[in-house]
Amino acid sequence: MTTKLAHPVPSSVLSSVPGSVLRGVLRSTVVLFAGSLVLLASGPAGADTPEGWPVADGVDPVYAVLLLGGVPALLIAVITLLVMVPGRRERHALAAGQADDQWFGGPRQGTAELPPAEAGATGSGGASARW
């Protein structure tokens, strides 16, 4: 890769123009080029209906609001109900029987099943901060 310009600019021209002006011109050129590309690309979007095709009727604003706002709101309501109803039904079943606390993966008989700590055990860990 080369850092030399294809068409050398005389150093007298570059030294008379401050660097901030050159950066500003470069930025302006890039912005104008990008803007013109956007405008050129959007040209077909403004085309008329081709000859022989039926002219489309206008969309009623109330219908558009109901379609674009009502359908998502209805979907949100249905999904919320589908998620919350089983949870409420299960909560009421638990409230009637009041299930006992469970220690998953622990001893079946609670702490009574744990072996007592030996007096000289050094590898017990715990709150003694020893390994």
Distance CA 117, CA 43 (A): 83
Residue 95: alpha-carbon gap to chain centroid: 38
More confident of the two residues 73 and 124: 73
CA dihedral 46, 49, 55, 57 (to 10 degrees): -20
Angle at 70 between CA 65 and CA 74, to 5 degrees: 170
Residue 86: alpha-carbon gap to chain centroid: 28
The reported pLDDT for the residue numbered 15 is 61
More confident of the two residues 2 and 76: 76
The reported pLDDT for the residue numbered 130 is 57
pTM of the model: 0.33
Backbone angles phi, psi at 93, to 5 degrees: -65, -40
Q: Where are the domains of the chain?
A: 72-96
Model confidence at 51, in pLDDT bands (50, 70, 90)? confident
Model confidence at 45, in pLDDT bands (50, 70, 90)? confident
